[in-house]
Structure 1
Amino acid sequence: MSPLLDIRGLDVDFDGRPAVRDVHLTLDRGEVLGLVGESGSGKSATALAVLGLLPGNAVTRGSVRLEGTELLGAGERELTRIRGSRVSMVFQDPLSAFTPVYRIGDQIAEAVRAHRDVGRERARERAVELLDLVGIPEPALRARAFPHEFSGGMRQRAMIAMALADDPDLILADEPTTALDVTIQAQILDVLRTARRETGAALLLVSHDLGVIAGMADRVAVMRDGRVVEQGPAREVFHRPREPYTRQLLAAVPRIDTPRRTARADGEPVLRVRGLTRTFPVLQGSVVRRRTGTVYAADGVDLDIRRGETLALVGESGSGKSTTLFELLELAQPEAGTVELFGQRPGTLTKAETRALRRRVQIVFQDPMASLDPRMPVGDIIAEPLRTQGAGKAVIGRRVPELLTRVGLDPAHADRYPHEFSGGQRQRIGIARALSVEPELLVLDEPVSALDVSVQAEVLDLLRRLKEELGLAYLFVSHDLAVVRNIADRVSVMYLGRTVEAGPVDEVFARPRHPYTQALLSAVPVPDPDRERERQGTRILLQGDPPSPTHRYDGCRFRARCPLYPTLAGDEQKRCAHEVPEFEGDGAACHFPRVREVL
């Protein structure tokens, strides 16, 4: 039997530069093919070429057949007939894929009518049915909303609903979970499984996340530099990879199910935070701005870090991680609660004392390109904090080459500019800049989230080495729990502005007590097809998105999504609804904590 999709000798050039070379792929009906590789490997270009969605500067050669029908080079009328009806697309960024001035329901209804002879009313009904199928709450109401009124996870669900509008034979999903929290990612993957079950469609899943591919794909194709270097059944590729690049890629992936030895540092306290609170006003009005509400960004944060220790701060988007981080770096009196850095309370110090304290705390940002001045050579970028602290030319001239060497870069490249370095090298420059004034606490704000997995592994190894050599303490902010397991000694979990659980990494990951921590850990995919399929039956899927931080909730703020709450007795539920769970030291802020192993 001939395959549903047959790609032969596909080449793609952009302005004469090769992006895809001699790609051969097949996909049978009902099958899931995972297409993996690092940035620039050509996987997205391959998927977009199937439907002729590449930009105008792209030149394609080869053959792409859908059940014998040639798509490559087909006219716009033929492609329009096939798009949506037989082959649909789920894009990486649903906000840019939806038209912002039309309601979600109307856009899905338009997709229904594009290939079916149905009236407007029936098309609207079908749009509501599809939104309900993909798990949108109150689908009839939400169909009247605009794209910007949906959260990222809900927009991706709506994009999948649109892809299902005409029961396609093939769904192309280009990094459909990349920008989502791990809990929302788990929901979207579950929706994709539902979509396949309801339509019987084949799925070409493009992703850089090997854990996602392990849990979804029947077969896997690995791309590097525009070519497919290995492909085969998922179990074979993951357990018995033939190509050195595939083995290297798998070895670089941090795993949440691999314990590492950690020990509680016995050094002196570096940071101590109790009950940290930070609110922001909600303002309305174009001429006269008036306060109409409050955002409770941080509302009860507790942290402890000792010298030589790495504390990871984790939680979904909007949990208050970044707010907490920048509140600490402001070195100002907190709105409420207490902050102690090296035994000193910011906001009570003189300018000279604050200046000296600032030297002891430095930050490495998430996006190395955005945090480095493109007009300055990297030598000047690294020297800037030294100049701010009053260092002389001799000190700077000696220190810059030392720092470049320490982070694994060539001192001779100090006169180069940031754009002349790769992403991993730029992050090393950011680390060197942070180390220039010899800090004792390094705040790391998602320092590897923008990097490919192999480069990420190198930067994590560098951070571990620097910590050991310099006796540094790290506050490591991350949404990636596998990375946290790989580098942190202790972990602090935040939900809706509040600390809900903390403790040694191995203890919290092996025996989480708070239902939210259990759900976070359960949602993290493991790059092992057998284990991932075993875990799918016991995975904890949280319902919906986190509540709005503009409302201060009575009692436990997690109870609306808590899988434990509906099982409690009436009196127990009343306690959750009206009494705020207290957090004290290492433990869980839950009235009824129950250990549950989820890895």
Structure 2
Amino acid sequence: MSTAPLLEVAGLDVDFDGRPAVRGVGLTLRRGEVLGLVGESGSGKSATALAVLGLLPGNAAVRGSVRLDGTELLGLPERELTRIRGRRVAMVFQDPLSAFTPVYRIGDQIAEAVRTHQDVSRERAAERAVELLDLVGIPEPALRARSFPHEFSGGMRQRAMIAMAMADDPDLILADEPTTALDVTIQAQVLDVLRTARQATGAALLLVSHDLGVIAGTADRVAVMRDGRVVEQGTVDDVFRRPREPYTRELLAAVPRLDATRRPRPGSGEPVLRVRGLTRTFPVLKGTAFRRRVGTVYAVDGVDLEVRRGETLALVGESGSGKSTTLFELLELARPEGGSIELFGQQPGTLGKAAARALRRRIQIVFQDPMASLDPRMPVGDIVAEPLRTQGAGRAVAGRRVRELLAQVGLDPADAERYPHEFSGGQRQRIGIARALSVEPELLVLDEPVSALDVSVQAGVLELLQRLKDELGLAYLFVSHDLSVVRNIADRVSVVYLGRTVEAGPVDEVFAAPRHPYTQALLSAVPLPDPELERKRTRILLAGDPPSPTRRYEGCRFRGRCPLYAELAEEERKRCAVDVPVFEGDGVACHFPRVRSVV
């Protein structure tokens, strides 16, 4: 690795319409090095990365110095910047769908990037596009090069974006939150592809991320940003092990860890919720004037759950695994399409109107996006009181209860007169929790309740949820894709894959000794905010994306991605291909389970 800086940023200031976003940022990056730029929302990290390539919007004012191999980039004419973009500095954006042109094929767009900076024929550029797609792990690259962006999954689009970044062997790759919207298994694939890109091109990497685990396992050095300034930087080992700044220490302390030690507290007594063999399908329709059914989506195809009083059961799995559909099937309080649901000993769909109304009071939900779930036209007091009024409470009773609830979730009772837009994201989620608690439920359904929050805010909300559960004796059904969060709040965990439960049990047992290869892959893909431990871990990279839920699969539906399947004898593989593994109670739906520690 060369000691001469490839990129030097000094005294960088960025204002948006006169409002400061970045102040006095200084960074250096050497050839072949990975610099992690971390911070919470609004810290200025993305604005810093975009300023390097002159990609900020027109209302941005940029001052300072950005030098690439000694050449000043700030103030360069657009024509000269265009020659540098892609050829010497490439960008991997957070949202690859918006970065690709939707009306052109993926292969054509990558080939265009090749021809922009290289004197090659169209045929050679097309061949190079296929080579790059193959290098980043796109299956059947020659065929998929003819696909349009919307025909790729999120993980495939991000890999294609990395392929485009590699097209001209750049000296520097800027990656702005490249894994934020991806499942943890796909995130592991994309990070592996970024490593491949660096090895193939020898490029330095500026990796912008809010995920300290990702930075711990990828970066050589790290710079921590807060309120537009770099508050600490150094080697990844020094900053993570011996942080000097109080803010860095607070940030690291707030990160939920997969290897946390916490004793679960299983519930007692009869289950408040019992689900057996739940199924739910949706039609695939085609046509406009005359719509006809051309297929079926098997969204939920054999989910089993049990939640006891005072217990937190986490429901985990990749996007499309059926988690959210399962939740909404429970909340419908209707007869399920297939299987059975039992809430507090009663079967929804068999109850009269009064009994169903009473049952609905006993189960409430906290949504993933607190802003979208709160009516912006209503003051907070009315929002929290709405379930109470629906259940027949008078205005005076509701008013007293609202004040109690706001105090209980850590807000000022006087906030009842304010509107949702006047609160931060964490405060809005506390309002959502207060609303859910207003009718004194016994079971709370929590749908990704902290996924939209910064890590420090997330820690406060998780602590609040744990306290409320203890004080009120609540049961939680906690849906999350973040297994580190699950380890820190759940008592038991249920893992679903392609609409079917594959493993369940006490969270400490499942995380310490997972038996299903899918659970093992999920856990191995979760990064730890500890550089030393990350370097020692072995990743289980699953092949491709989850298969389509529009097909019925014989046998084990995981076998196409299963690392264990290839190691089995022929007779064992036949069993996996024909027989559906059976799930019973706390156990594993696998014909050949093997315990493997991955944390």
| Partner Cα distance (1:514, 1:23) in 2 | 47
Q: Which residue of 2 aligns with 1:594?
A: 594
Match of 1:440 among 433, 439, 442: 442
For residue 484 of structure 1, give the secondary structure of its aligned residue in structure 2. helix
Q: Which residue of 1 aligns with 2:71?
A: 69
Q: Any gaps of 5 or more consecutive residues in structure 1?
A: none
Scaled by the length of structure 2, the TM-score of the pair is 0.99
| Partner Cα distance (2:270, 2:444) in 1 | 16
Give 1:258 shift. 1.3
Q: Residue type matched to 1:149 in 2?
A: E
Give 1:266 shift. 1.4
Checking the alignment, whether the CA contact within 8 Å between 1:211 and 1:526 is kept in structure 2 is yes
Q: Which residue of 2 aligns with 1:283?
A: 285
Q: Residue type matched to 1:588 in 2?
A: V
For residue 371 of structure 1, give the secondary structure of its aligned residue in structure 2. coil
For residue 205 of structure 2, give the secondary structure of its aligned residue in structure 1. strand
Q: Which residue of 1 aligns with 2:569?
A: 569
| Partner Cα distance (2:169, 2:75) in 1 | 25
| Partner Cα distance (2:268, 2:45) in 1 | 47
Match of 1:254 among 230, 253, 256: 256
| Partner Cα distance (1:397, 1:553) in 2 | 53
Match of 1:369 among 363, 368, 371: 371
Give 1:432 shift. 0.2
Give 1:394 shift. 2.1
Give 1:268 shift. 2.4
Match of 2:422 among 420, 443, 452: 420
For residue 417 of structure 2, give the secondary structure of its aligned residue in structure 1. coil
Checking the alignment, whether the CA contact within 8 Å between 1:309 and 1:489 is kept in structure 2 is yes
Match of 2:389 among 369, 383, 387: 387
Q: Which residue of 1 aligns with 2:179?
A: 177
Give 1:236 shift. 0.2
Q: Which residue of 1 aligns with 2:546?
A: 546
State percent identity of aligned pairs.
85
For residue 5 of structure 2, give the secondary structure of its aligned residue in structure 1. coil
Checking the alignment, whether the CA contact within 8 Å between 2:381 and 2:399 is kept in structure 1 is no
Give 1:449 shift. 0.1
Q: Which residue of 2 aligns with 1:489?
A: 491
Give 1:73 shift. 1.2
| Partner Cα distance (1:176, 1:394) in 2 | 50
Q: Deviations over 1:508-535 (max 9, x none)?
A: 0000000000000000000001111111
Match of 1:524 among 514, 523, 526: 526
For residue 268 of structure 2, give the secondary structure of its aligned residue in structure 1. coil
Q: Which residue of 2 aligns with 1:126?
A: 128
User: Are residue 583 (structure 1) and residue 566 (structure 2) matched?
Assistant: no
Q: Residue type matched to 2:545 in 1?
A: D
Q: Which residue of 1 aligns with 2:95?
A: 93
Give 1:269 shift. 1.1
Checking the alignment, whether the CA contact within 8 Å between 2:217 and 2:527 is kept in structure 1 is yes
Checking the alignment, whether the CA contact within 8 Å between 2:266 and 2:310 is kept in structure 1 is no
Q: Deviations over 1:289-346 (max 9, x none)?
A: 1000000000000000000000000000000000000000000000010000000000
Give 1:263 shift. 2.7
Checking the alignment, whether the CA contact within 8 Å between 1:383 and 1:396 is kept in structure 2 is yes
Q: Which residue of 1 aligns with 2:40?
A: 38
Q: Which residue of 1 aligns with 2:338?
A: 336
Q: Which residue of 1 aligns with 2:54?
A: 52
Q: Which residue of 2 aligns with 1:143?
A: 145
Q: Which residue of 2 aligns with 1:82?
A: 84
Moved more, 582-591 or 256-265: 256-265
Q: Which residue of 1 aligns with 2:191?
A: 189
Checking the alignment, whether the CA contact within 8 Å between 1:238 and 1:529 is kept in structure 2 is yes
| Partner Cα distance (2:55, 2:79) in 1 | 14
Give 1:2 shift. 3.3
| Partner Cα distance (1:408, 1:258) in 2 | 26
Q: Deviations over 1:558-588 (max 9, x none)?
A: 0000000010011100000000000000011
Q: Deviations over 1:330-382 (max 9, x none)?
A: 00000010000000000000000000000000000000000000000000000
User: Are residue 560 (structure 1) and residue 560 (structure 2) matched?
Assistant: yes
Moved more, 398-407 or 261-270: 261-270
Q: Which residue of 2 aligns with 1:474?
A: 476
Q: Deviations over 1:470-502 (max 9, x none)?
A: 000000000000000000000000000000000
Q: Which residue of 2 aligns with 1:155?
A: 157
Give 1:84 shift. 0.3
Q: Deviations over 1:65-103 (max 9, x none)?
A: 001100011110110010000000000000000000000
For residue 269 of structure 2, give the secondary structure of its aligned residue in structure 1. coil
Checking the alignment, whether the CA contact within 8 Å between 1:134 and 1:161 is kept in structure 2 is yes
Match of 2:272 among 260, 270, 282: 270
Checking the alignment, whether the CA contact within 8 Å between 1:130 and 1:164 is kept in structure 2 is yes
Checking the alignment, whether the CA contact within 8 Å between 1:256 and 1:524 is kept in structure 2 is yes
| Partner Cα distance (2:302, 2:20) in 1 | 53
| Partner Cα distance (1:266, 1:382) in 2 | 30
Checking the alignment, whether the CA contact within 8 Å between 2:37 and 2:222 is kept in structure 1 is yes
| Partner Cα distance (2:73, 2:517) in 1 | 49
For residue 326 of structure 2, give the secondary structure of its aligned residue in structure 1. helix
Q: Residue type matched to 1:584 in 2?
A: E
Q: Residue type matched to 2:439 in 1?
A: V
Q: Which residue of 2 aligns with 1:2?
A: 4
Scaled by the length of structure 1, the TM-score of the pair is 0.99
Q: Residue type matched to 2:574 in 1?
A: K
Aligned residue-pair number:
597
| Partner Cα distance (2:288, 2:397) in 1 | 51
Checking the alignment, whether the CA contact within 8 Å between 1:267 and 1:308 is kept in structure 2 is no
Q: Which residue of 2 aligns with 1:211?
A: 213
Q: Residue type matched to 1:139 in 2?
A: P
Give 1:395 shift. 1.1
Shift >6 Å, 4+ stretches:
none
| Partner Cα distance (1:398, 1:459) in 2 | 24
